[in-house]
């Protein structure tokens, strides 16, 4: 018991009701419970809540069994009851989807109850579905982990994200196409893309307010990009 007593010497007080050994054992139990509590949370959120948003299913774009995560912010608050402001998609998730039928989740976001400011997309995510983060009006930053395996991103994925200014996909070397309406009605003015991208729809400039594009570290203005795109017979990145 010596090392344990030393660790908790400032906390252990022997009383008539509790011996030194009993007090030590009690503190050890409390610490184990604290560790157990920490392991039962993710990003400060109860694992029960996280697991309720995960399904093992087949989808149209991934017709084999895989883990899909529905980022329903209305159901994710931290254990202290605070509003969710930053979230890291669990590492084992392969597909990220919106909260099903548009009604509840879009209503939740539009009424200003979604306080999420930053999302980190895990490197194992292969698909981001249509409208997955649409109307996240307080969203300011999206981070894609290094060596991201993302290959497909759906229409309007970041539509209506007023405070989002930049989308950086340069860690997504498997990404093939950027939808023209990916950030429609949002605050995004800069998109950063991997040079491995195969195609891009020029309608992006009509549907979004993007005026700066990077391929790796090469910067293009809107007009420079359009001219380059045309000069390369619609396949500028091969």
Query: Domain residues of the chain, as ranges?
Result: 1-39, 45-231
Domain 45-231 architecture: Alpha-Beta Horseshoe (3.80)
Q: What is the pLDDT of residue 130?
A: 92
Distance between CA atoms of residues 126 and 151, nearest Å: 5
How is residue 77 written in tokens?
A: 């608050």
Q: What is the pLDDT of residues 22-36, one digit of tens each?
A: 665 665 555 545 444
For 76-114, how does the pLDDT look when each residue is reduced to its tens digit (9 = 90+)? 777 666 778 889 999 999 999 887 544 344 445 555 678
Cα(176)–Cα(149) distance, integer angstroms: 11
Contact yes or no for 132/98 (Cβ under 8 A): yes
Q: What is the pLDDT of residue 24?
A: 55
Alpha-carbon distance 57 to 69, whole Å? 10
pLDDT: is 11 or 182 the higher one? 182
The model's pLDDT over 108-135, given as tens digits with 9 standing for 90+, comes to: 555 567 888 999 999 999 999 999 999 8
Of 137-146, 192-201, 207-216, the range with the lowest mean pLDDT is 192-201
Query: Is the Cβ–Cβ distance between 84 and 116 less than 8 Å?
Result: yes
pLDDT at 140: 96
CA geometry: angle 130, 229, 167, nearest 5 deg:
40
pLDDT for position 8:
38
d(CA 92, CA 149): 12
Q: What pLDDT shows up at residue 110? A: 52
Classified as helix, coil or strand, 78 is coil
Residue 92, token pair as written in the block: 């084992």
């Amino acid at each position: 018991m010596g090392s344990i007593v030393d660790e908790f010497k400032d906390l252990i007080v022997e009383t008539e009701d509790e011996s030194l050994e009993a007090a030590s054992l009690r503190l050890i139990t409390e610490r184990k419970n604290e560790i157990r509590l920490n392991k039962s949370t993710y990003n400060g959120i109860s694992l029960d809540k996280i697991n309720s948003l995960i399904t093992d299913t087949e989808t149209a774009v991934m017709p084999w069994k895989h883990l899909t995560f529905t980022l329903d912010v209305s159901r994710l608050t931290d254990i202290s009851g605070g509003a969710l402001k930053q979230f890291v998609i669990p590492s084992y998730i392969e597909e990220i989807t919106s909260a099903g039928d548009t009604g509840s989740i879009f209503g939740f976001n539009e009424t200003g109850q979604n306080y999420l400011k930053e999302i980190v997309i895990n490197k194992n995510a292969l698909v981001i579905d249509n409208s997955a983060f649409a109307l996240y009006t307080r969203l300011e930053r999206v981070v894609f982990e290094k060596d991201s395996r993302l290959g497909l991103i759906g229409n309007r994925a970041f539509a209506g994200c007023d405070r989002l200014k930049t989308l950086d996909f340069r860690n997504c070397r498997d990404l093939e196409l950027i939808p023209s309406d990916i950030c429609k009605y949002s605050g995004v003015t800069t998109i950063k893309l991997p040079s491995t991208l195969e195609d891009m729809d020029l309608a992006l400039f009509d549907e979004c307010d993007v005026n700066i594009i990077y391929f790796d570290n090469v910067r293009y203005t809107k007009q420079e990009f359009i001219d380059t795109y045309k000069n390369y017979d619609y396949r500028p990145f091969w």
